[in-house]
Structure 1
Amino acid sequence: MPIKNRSYVFYELTNSICSQCLRKVEAKVIIEDENVYLLKYCGHHGREKVLISDDVDYYKRCREFLKPAEMPQRWNTPIRYGCPYDCGLCPDHEQHSCLTLIEVTDKCNLQCPICYAESSPKRETWRSLEQIEAMLDAVVCNEEEPDIVQISGGEPTIHPQFFEILDLAKTKPIKHLMVNTNGLRIARDREFVRKLAAYMPGFELYLQFDSFEEEALRELRGADLREVRQRAIEHLNEFNISTTLVVTLKKGLNDREVGDIIRYGLQQPSVRGVTFQPIQAAGRTESFDPATDRLTLSEVRRLIIEQSGLFQPEDIIPVPCHPDCLAMGYALKLGGGAIPLTGLIDPQILLDGGRNTIVFEQDQTLKEQVFELFSTAHSPSSSALSLKNLLCCLPSVAVPEHIGYDNVFRVLIMQFLDPYNFDVRSVKKSCVHIAHPDGRIIPFDTYNLFYRDGREEILEGLRAETGGLR
């Protein structure tokens, strides 16, 4: 009798959760037909097969981008029920907070059909300055000098004490302060933007910028925001306020615009980069079918390479702190053009934690400068860039006098885990966190699934089934 083989290669084993009941389940990582899938089984809801990568080589390469974890200064919760039921941060987590969100309101001046926080004009929760300071202090206690704190919501710019919040945050030892915004107030209130400019440097806007097309904007945001986006960018360019364009991606809707948005960003003086975020199946997800509308990180990476006309495969690499969910590429914006940088790097230098230094000789031609930038030579008379600062999801970059943050352009893919692609190994490395009002610091992925609004009631039931540690 002939030997029968399975149709796939069993590559790894992990834990996931059932997309229906959120119970923890065992999951195989399998390779089949040049794709990578999670194959999981729930005793209540049966089998589930979820695409997690359409690029086997890149998936395997992510396993090479591993480095010792950077821990926070303190832990916030004990280990009792096991990941992901103990957030956080618990001592079993493997990464400190590269970026922490402080949500100052649940109210918004839009009701987007896609919104992980389910914000809307109907919600009336405003956090007080006292609550916000307690959340900021919790982040500082964890990090001492937080890399990035992002003021978020809801729509934070409509908070009645918005500038007081920024003033308060600026008193804390935060390296880089961001504001997450849909841009409505930025577009409509030039004086508001002028006041924002006073918080530079070390300040940046995280500007919602999903599409150039009305249909896509109405499906994602519930409104035609094309003119709003144009006026917002005009105001930000006028005052040269550092800006990241943030694109929520849906398969078959706005994924064909990836290259156009990158090229647009390169032409805007204020734009320092573009972040692409495939929709996370959490919160409000109208007209979104996870079976057909999901995009994996590897698919977005391919779109960037194929559409941008700038980045090659070696230019978009895993971010070592969380390689499964973050990929990045850096370029220099100079003279109206851009030069990719990431592909010139020896990955081992990156994994060494940036202990080596990139040297920038100021008297060379531009092409020679770029290559010298990534050499390991050292010269006391040279200006230097910190490789650790440059090659990270963090926007802080120390640069020579004639090459400033204005010349840095980064493309980042930020894929958040949801009940379909959830992988416990990966969530333990999450470095994007949300500050809970009670002082916990919780990974973005698990916060939206288990800890937002009334979801902890569901979580309590799941915890009860585990029995906890004895």
Structure 2
Amino acid sequence: MSRKNRPYHFYDTTSSVCSLCLYPVEAKILFKNNQVYMDKWCPEHGTERVLVMDDADYYRKCREVYVKAPEMPERFATPMRYGCPYDCGLCPDHMQHSCLSIVEITDMCNLDCPVCFADSGMSREVKLPHLPYRHKSIDTVKAMLDTVVASEGMPDVVQLSGGEPTLHPQLFEILDYIKTLPIRHVMINTNGIRLAKEPEFVAKFAEYAYRRPASHPALNDGKQGIEVYLQFDSLHDDKIRVLRGANLANIHAQALANLEVHNLSTTLVATIARGLNDDELGEIIAYASGFRCVRGVSFQPLSVSGRVDGHTDLTDALPDGRERLTISELRRKIAAQSKIFTLDDIVPVPCNPDTLAMGYALKLENHIAPLTRYVTPDVIMQGGENTIMFEQNPKLQQTLQREAKDQLIKVLSTNHSPESQANCLSELLCCLPKISAPDLAYDNVFRLMIVQFMDAQNLDIRSLKKSCIHFAQPDGKMIPFESFNIFYRDDKQQKLAEIRQTLDTARFARRTVNAENSQAKKSHTQKLTVTALTTD
């Protein structure tokens, strides 16, 4: 008699949380029709299947090829008691240091974005009247920055976020303090409104970027990069309005014009929703490549967190588990729409390959030349320490392995003389050393990122433990992005406290049962001994 087969391939087990009650659940990773699903089962809410990636081959590359030894932070701030994700952080069970540390300096914002994961903005006071709505004090911000340094030693990248950080009245005092810390690179996460309306504000940013050296002795050259992380979801107001609740196309254009005047390093950041702006990826890349100041584009598929969940205008774009826009699909869409990047140019980032992908290119006079396709996975895996912002990594000053160098020269040999080739191969890929080419500036690097933030539906605890994007807290904790937004932000901590109490109760019950069983076994053994003695 032939046995019945299941309609999928079983790949692995993991753990997750029930998206309804947020209690821990076991999960399976399944392949079906070359798509990757996570199957979860909750005793109270039943089964749940969610699409993780739509390309099993790419998923296996992430899991089996682009894997490096995890890098530890300088210290762990919390003990292991309840298990991931209820012990953040970072606890000793976490497998990756902070490549990007986020410091939220304000709750206030001049927009009310439907996709805001921080639930900041004008509606916050109405929705969360019991919570403070304010700029964080300079002492609180300093404490968060000190947390980052204590955890990382020399942090790769610190991002000031909010709310809208440019509204903070002490922003430049905060930047002054950062100048005294051993932080290699600073990002300002902004919607661009103030940058568009106040050219003098941009000029002051440029002063901090170019004319005010860092004073920490560890940064012995005094250099500390400052970059603008500019919200840029679309070129069209009808699409921007759905995601941001306002017409911002002209604002973004003016902000970029003001940034271009000073050549202030800028990354365009786009939240991508299925059926809304996922047909605009190539257009955004092409637009970005036309600016001298733009160093790259970061695409972030829409996830269910913050204000997104339940927002009626976003119903059609919300991930429902099976229609989720995944990192693998976004990668294919970029390759199909872009005239610059192919699939071979967009590879997993080893520090957390499930949720991060990137590609690098050189910005030359009249075109952009992709580089990543010429670097083999084994070269990437033999590189240096894990970090998203590879340009700020001092280990990148080493000579690139000859194999990678020979391959990379091929991309430039048709367009450049041997003399110019040496000046076109300086900054390459996350976790790689670089070719020594001092004449090549940061301006020549164009970076493409895909960042997929998990939510309660697709949360894979195995992947969460490798999260390298963390929120700094004034009490010394660094909390991974996804777990912070699900469990630790604002009043979500009430649910976390309930789960912890339940886990404590269950642990106590198990200990009681174990103690009773142990006592019963001991009594039984003593009884047998007495019986044996009596018989003798």
Q: Same fold per TM (> 0.5)?
A: yes
1:437 and 1:106 map into 2 onto residues whose CA distance is 15
> How far 1:392 moved relative to its partner?
1.9
Give the drift of 1:304.
1.0
Q: CA deviation at 1:398?
A: 8.5
> Among 399, 402, 410, which residue is 2:447 paired with?
410
TM-fit CA distance, 1:399:
6.3
8 Å Cα contact 1:278-1:296 kept in structure 2:
yes
- Distance change >3 Å, CA 34–CA 282, structure 1 → 2: same
Corresponding position of 1:167 = 176
User: What TM-score do the two structures reach when normalised by structure 1?
Assistant: 0.92
Matched-pair contact (CA < 8 Å) for 1:94–1:428 = yes
**Alignment partner for residue 463 of structure 1, among 500, 511, 534?**
500
In the alignment, what sits opposite 1:179?
A: 188
Q: Residue 165 of structure 1: CA displacement?
A: 1.1
Q: Which residue number corresponds to residue 391 of structure 1?
A: 429
Which one-letter code corresponds to 1:459 in the other structure? L
1:358 touches 1:384 (CA, 8 Å); kept in 2? no
Matched residue of 1:284: which SS? coil
Q: Give the helix-richer structure, 1 or 2.
A: 2
Query: Can you list the C-alpha shifts for 1:198-245, whole angstroms capped at 9, x where unaligned?
Result: 122511000000001222111100001011011011001111000000
What count of residue pairs does the alignment treat as equivalent? 454
Per the TM alignment, residue 437 of structure 1 is displaced from its structure 2 partner at its CA by 2.6
- For residues 18 and 319 of structure 1, do their structure 2 counterparts lie closer, same or farther at Cα, with a shift above 3 Å needed? same
Output the amino acid matched with 2:37: Y
Q: Compare 150-159 and 342-351 and name the one that shifted more.
A: 342-351
Q: Structure 1 residues 104, 15: closer, same or farther in 2, change over 3 A?
A: same
Q: TM-score, normalised by structure 2?
A: 0.81
Q: Distance in 2 between matches of 1:133 and 1:104?
A: 10
Give 1:358 deviation, angstroms: 2.2
Counterpart of 2:480 in structure 1 is 443
Partner of 1:135: 144
CA contact (8 A) 1:397 1:405 kept: no
1:191-340 aligned at under 5 Å gives the runs 191-200=200-209, 202-285=225-308, 286=311, 287-288=314-315, 289-291=318-320, 294-340=324-370
Contact 2:335/2:343 (<8 A) preserved: yes
Q: Distance in 1 between matches of 2:323 and 2:109?
A: 25
- Report the counterpart of residue 153 of structure 2 in structure 1: 144
The structure with the largest strand share of the pair is: 1
**CA spacing shift, 1:293–1:119, aligned 2, 3 Å:** farther
Give the SS at the match of 1:358: coil
What is the Cα deviation at residue 385 of structure 1?
6.8
Unaligned runs of 5+ in 1: 373-381
C-alpha distance 293-210 of structure 1, shift in aligned 2 (>3 A): farther
Contact kept, 8 Å, 2:107 with 2:121, in 1: the verdict is yes
**Structure 1: how far apart are the matches of 2:106 and 2:480?**
19
> What is aligned with 2:521?
none
Q: How far has the Cα of 1:369 moved from its partner?
A: 7.4
Correspondence for 1:454 among 491, 515, 520: 491
Q: 1:384, 1:399 within 8 Å by CA — same for their partners in 2?
A: no
- Which secondary structure does the structure 1 equivalent of 2:400 belong to? strand
**Unmatched tracts of structure 2, length 5 or more:** 126-132, 211-224, 385-394, 415-421, 512-536
Structure 2 counterparts to residues 56-205 of structure 1, below 5 A: 56-63=56-63, 64-121=65-122, 123=125, 124-200=133-209, 202-205=225-228
Alignment-mate amino acid for residue 319 of structure 2: P
Instruction: Return the letter of the residue paired with 2:400.
Output: I
Hey, what's the Cα distance between the residues in 2 that align with 1:232 and 1:445?
A: 30
Q: Of 325, 339, 344, which aligns to 2:374?
A: 344
Q: Which amino acid aligns with 1:105?
A: T
Relative to structure 1, the CA distance from residue 352 to residue 397 in structure 2 (aligned partners, 3 Å threshold; closer, same or farther) is closer
Of the two, which has the highest radius of gyration? 2
Query: By how many angstroms is 1:290 displaced?
Result: 2.3
